[in-house]
């Protein structure tokens, strides 16, 4: 992998004329296929764990520690992406590692084996995150970043609809959960090819300054660091959606359109991802027109209300339909606006590092929140609401910090869209 030589700072290359091009399409297709792949596995992971005798604590720990490992990989991938001449190999190889790790879970018979495979998959997922996002950001004009990331998030969420639907089809045809895991390899390889074949990386000249980690973090700026602090606090309550699948599987009171237990829970997850797919692009366009801040803070507030409602409302089919749909909507708002605003705050030479740090902070929050909710649920099995209320409280605190950080954010090198 070719490291960037150090030299004088150079002008940023001219922006592309159009936001819809082969690179944005390639990145979006990679997100689509990759989500089909790992959501095939995610949809059946609770059932696979239950079949080998594991419960909510195991799921929370597997998801939480995997997210923690992914956080380290995201940070490493972000820093490295600013130091190498080409980001595309980092992104494409990360997609391939994710695909192999997810498919390998189909061969596991013990929870620790699933844990190892999940860690490998999420390490690949983490390392590709920042290089992919910088490739997307540099492929579009500044004023179109919201819609570009909205398209990518919409493709990602569409894959998260197709994946569970394929899982339902395979289960209906008699496939076991571990068979579904193995089939996930095919769309995962397609994601790797979408980056490798379609994405055209822009030529960039080396940036001046040290390649050390600490100077790169110092160069991110105080507004961005305050922004990250709020996102970390919010993320400590933003637990993995697989815990909601398990919640619906265990606590659904009544049938959902004649669907029962695990099948109904997967259907609710499909609804969640479908809403996210439909909402992502319009929310990206809205963020370009009215600003990132209203979209982000509004999404965070919806997250607080939705998480609290999981604790306060009975798990009837109608309540779960509404709450899973609301969850899909706020996830779309978070993922589109967080990245678009981060790009606004970051200097061009530090975008890989900054986006890697953003992804790492999100992953650290997921690790803490998933483990917290899973452990509280196991400690108080009759009342999973305790974990949900703790998560909602952290989300509310994080929303306040982010709102304050955005209200005071300025950047010397670029106008911040707020």
Write out pLDDT tens, residues 168-198.
888 888 888 888 888 999 999 999 999 999 9
Whether 1 is covered by a domain: the verdict is no
187 within 8 A of 31, measured Cβ to Cβ: no
What CA–CA distance (Å, rounded) separates 181 from 37? 9
Question: Scanning the structure block, which residue is given the tokens 């380290």?
Answer: 72
Q: 35 is written with which tokens?
A: 């989500």
Q: What percent of the chain has pLDDT over 70?
A: 84
Give the domain CATH number at 248.
Answer: 1.20.1250.20
Average pLDDT, the chain: 80
Give me the pLDDT at residue 412, please: 38
DSSP 327-346: HHHHHHHHHHHHHHHHHHHS
What CA–CA distance (Å, rounded) separates 205 from 61? 43
pLDDT band at 418 (very low <50, low <70, confident <90, very high): very low
Q: 356 is written with which tokens?
A: 């890697």
Q: Is the predicted pLDDT of residue 247 greater than 80, yes or no?
A: yes
Give me the pLDDT at residue 328, please: 92
Whether 208 is covered by a domain: the verdict is no
DSSP 237-280: T---THHHHHHHHHH--S-BTTB-HHHHHHHHHHHHHHHHHHHH
Output 17 or 277, whichever has higher pLDDT: 277
Whether 210 is covered by a domain: the verdict is no
DSSP 164-177: HHHHHHHHHTT--H
Using CB atoms within 10 Å of the CB of residue 364, give its burial: 0 to 12 exposed, 13 to 18 middle, 19+ buried.
Answer: buried
120 within 8 A of 105, measured Cβ to Cβ: no
Q: 147 is written with which tokens?
A: 């819609």
52 within 8 A of 109, measured Cβ to Cβ: yes
In this structure, the number of other CB atoms found within 10 A of the CB of residue 185 comes to 18
CA R_g for the chain: 20
Please report, for residues 82, 317, 351, the alpha-carbon distance to residue 130 in angstroms, rounded to integers and kept in the order given. Answer: 10, 38, 8
The distance of Cα 30 from the centroid of its chain, to the nearest Å, equals 14
* pLDDT tens by residue, 297-351: 999 999 999 999 998 988 888 898 999 999 999 999 988 888 888 888 887 777 7
What CA–CA distance (Å, rounded) separates 206 from 4? 6
Whether 332 is covered by a domain: the verdict is yes
Whether 150 is covered by a domain: the verdict is yes
Instruction: Please tell me what DSSP assigns to residue 3.
Output: B
pLDDT band at 19 (very low <50, low <70, confident <90, very high): confident
Of 336, 328, 325, 329, give the one whose Cα is nearest residue 293: 336
**Number of domains into which the chain is organized:** 1
Whether 417 is covered by a domain: the verdict is no
What CA–CA distance (Å, rounded) separates 271 from 337? 22
Give me the pLDDT at residue 206, please: 45
Look at 209-223, 278-292, 295-309, 401-415 and tell me which has the smallest mean pLDDT.
209-223
Give me the pLDDT at residue 392, please: 94
**Could you list the residue range(s) of the whole structural domain that residue 280 is in?**
22-202+220-407
Instruction: Please tell me what DSSP assigns to residue 413.
Output: S
- What is the average per-residue pLDDT within 348-367? 80
Whether 358 is covered by a domain: the verdict is yes
Of 284, 311, 323, give the one whose Cα is nearest residue 157: 284
Look at 130-134, 210-214, 229-233, 377-381 and tell me which has the smallest mean pLDDT.
210-214
Using CB atoms within 10 Å of the CB of residue 89, give its burial: 0 to 12 exposed, 13 to 18 middle, 19+ buried.
Answer: middle
Taking every pair of Cα atoms in the chain, the longest distance, rounded to a whole number of angstroms, is 66
Q: 119 is written with which tokens?
A: 């860690």
Q: 141 is written with which tokens?
A: 């004009």
Give me the pLDDT at residue 7, please: 42
Q: Is the dihedral of CA 163, 315, 53, 373 positive or negative?
A: positive
Q: Is the predicted pLDDT of residue 242 greater than 50, yes or no?
A: yes
Q: 331 is written with which tokens?
A: 């996830």
pLDDT band at 1 (very low <50, low <70, confident <90, very high): very low
Give me the pLDDT at residue 330, please: 92
Instruction: Please tell me what DSSP assigns to residue 21.
Output: S
Give me the pLDDT at residue 300, please: 95
Whether 16 is covered by a domain: the verdict is no
Of 401, 385, 400, give the one whose Cα is nearest residue 307: 385
pLDDT band at 359 (very low <50, low <70, confident <90, very high): confident
Question: Scanning the structure block, which residue is given the tokens 């605003």?
Answer: 341
* pLDDT tens by residue, 32-83: 999 899 888 877 877 777 777 666 666 667 766 776 777 778 777 777 777 7
Give me the pLDDT at residue 56, please: 65
Look at 27-31, 143-147, 283-287, 405-409 and tell me which has the smallest mean pLDDT.
405-409
Q: Is the dihedral of CA 35, 89, 68, 237 positive or negative?
A: negative
Backbone angles phi, psi at 8, to 5 degrees: -65, 150
Q: Is the predicted pLDDT of residue 389 greater than 90, yes or no?
A: yes
């Amino acid at each position: 992998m070719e490291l960037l030589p150090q030299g004088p700072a150079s002008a940023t290359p001219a922006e592309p004329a159009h936001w819809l091009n082969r690179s944005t399409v390639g990145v979006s297709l990679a997100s689509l296929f990759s989500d089909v792949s790992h959501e095939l596995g995610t949809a059946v992971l609770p059932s696979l764990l239950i079949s080998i005798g594991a419960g909510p604590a195991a799921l929370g720990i597997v998801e939480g520690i995997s997210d923690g490992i992914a956080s380290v990989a995201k940070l490493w991938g972000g820093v490295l992406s600013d130091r190498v001449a080409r980001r595309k190999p980092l992104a494409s190889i990360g997609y391939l590692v994710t695909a192999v790790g997810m498919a390998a879970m189909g061969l596991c018979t013990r929870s620790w084996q699933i844990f190892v495979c999940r860690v490998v998959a999420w390490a690949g997922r983490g390392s590709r995150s920042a290089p992919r996002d910088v490739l997307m950001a540099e492929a579009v004009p500044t004023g179109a970043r919201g819609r570009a990331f909205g398209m990518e998030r919409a493709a990602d969420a569409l894959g998260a609809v197709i994946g569970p639907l394929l899982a339902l089809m395979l289960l209906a045809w008699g496939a076991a959960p571990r068979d579904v895991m193995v089939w996930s390899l095919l769309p995962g390889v397609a994601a790797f090819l979408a980056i490798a074949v379609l994405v055209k990386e822009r030529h960039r000249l080396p940036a001046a300054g040290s390649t050390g980690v600490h100077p790169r973090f110092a160069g991110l700026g105080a507004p961005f660091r305050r922004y990250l602090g709020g996102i970390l606090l919010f993320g400590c309550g933003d637990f993995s959606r697989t815990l909601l699948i398990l919640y619906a599987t265990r606590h659904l009171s009544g049938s959902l359109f004649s669907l029962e237990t695990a099948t109904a829970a997967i259907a609710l997850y499909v609804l969640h991802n479908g809403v996210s797919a439909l909402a992502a692009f319009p929310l990206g366009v809205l963020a370009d027109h009215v600003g990132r801040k209203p979209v982000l803070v509004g999404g965070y507030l919806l997250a607080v209300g939705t998480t609290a409602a999981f604790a306060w409302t009975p798990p009837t089919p109608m309540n779960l339909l509404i709450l899973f749909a609301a969850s899909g909507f706020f996830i779309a708002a978070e993922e589109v606006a967080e990245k678009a605003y981060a790009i606004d705050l970051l200097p061009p030479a530090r975008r890989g590092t900054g986006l890697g740090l953003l992804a790492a902070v999100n992953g650290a929050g997921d690790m803490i929140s998933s483990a917290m909710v899973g452990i509280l649920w196991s400690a108080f099995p009759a009342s999973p609401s305790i974990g949900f209320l703790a998560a909602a409280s952290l989300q509310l605190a994080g929303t306040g910090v982010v709102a304050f950080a955005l209200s005071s954010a300025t950047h010397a090198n670029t106008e911040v869209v707020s």
